[in-house]
Structure 1
Amino acid sequence: MAKPATLTLELLQENFVICRLSPSSSLPSWAFNGPFVSITKSSDELSIITIDNNQLPKEIQCERNWKCFKLIGPFPFDLTGILTSVLNPLAKAEVGILAISTFDTDYVLIKDINLQTGIDVLKQNGHTINV
């Protein structure tokens, strides 16, 4: 079995929020802030991940206090094991995650309360963390 990939991850400094809106909602202007925004629409919901500037409308259902790691890429689409090398150690340490993939790379969000554990576990597994 091949050794898991060792990667460099950049910890984005902002705090992030994950919001759930109705699938029929239009895209709000507050969604487009910060160095990372993810918008996903399904038949059940419109999910928005953006920086938490504490200025979101009160009626929006949100999950706050997330930190975001950017895996330094880009990675070819046929390269396997990238996310696994990050997610498996976090799962073994019982650190919950939210993973998002883009054309070039992947992002992994973890709750702020688990940040130091996450950093320690990833470093112990050979990854480099740029903070």
Structure 2
Amino acid sequence: MMPLGGQPGRCIGLMRGFSGWSSVFAWWKSLAAPDTFPILEKKRISGGLRMAACVRLELLPGHYAVSRLDGAEPIPAWADGAGFVSISRSANELSIVCLQARVPGGVKSEGEWVCLQLVGPFAFSETGIVLSVVRPLSEAGLGIFVVSTYDGDFLMLKAADLDRGRRLLTEAGHRLG
């Protein structure tokens, strides 16, 4: 969907039957500082207004790896450090996402991922945020890996798919910084 006003990050799709133009106008006037509204939740409001999520994403530096260790193993020292890090444990596995350069040889791992941060924070009650970013990539057949934190979400995309992913996300109305 093309953003209203033709500017990324200011998306609002208007559907038939909407009669609350004064609310839309007040909202539009409030956008003097566009970065204060990093996302608009996708929702239907009475009268038929539908807003499409417009998420600002930042590409984090470096290539990342997703590693798997046995669930009983302790968290290794190499896992923590600079860059984005996610450590998840289940009964069967210990999964570690970190900069690829830190993963030692011999560790079961898949590398060459890039990391896009969905710039938040987002309220837990906001819905459709991850879906709005994942859908265009998934529909185009791109493999992804998503990690959520308290304040936001991180999307891992294969480095070889980055240019195509940027194009798809921009066409979907998202902003990449």
1:10 equivalent in structure 2 = 58
Q: In structure 1, give the amino acid aligned to 2:88.
A: T
Residue 21 in structure 1 maps to residue 69 in structure 2? yes
What does 1:1-131 correspond to in 2, within 5 Å?
2-53=50-101, 55-130=102-177
Instruction: Give 1 or 2 for the bigger CA radius of gyration.
Output: 2
| Structure 1 residue runs of 4 or more that deviate by more than 4 Å after TM superposition | none
- Larger RCO, structure (CA 8 Å, separation 6 or more): 1
How far did 1:34 drift? 1.9
> With structure 2 as the length reference, what TM-score do the two structures score?
0.70
> With structure 1 as the length reference, what TM-score do the two structures score?
0.94
- Relative to its length, the structure with more strand (as a share) is 1
* Matched length: 129
Q: CA RMSD in A?
A: 1.1
- Relative to its length, the structure with more helix (as a share) is 2
Find the aligned partners of 2:137 and 2:121 in 1 and give their Cα distance.
Answer: 22
Segments of structure 1 that go 5 or more residues without pairing to the other structure are none
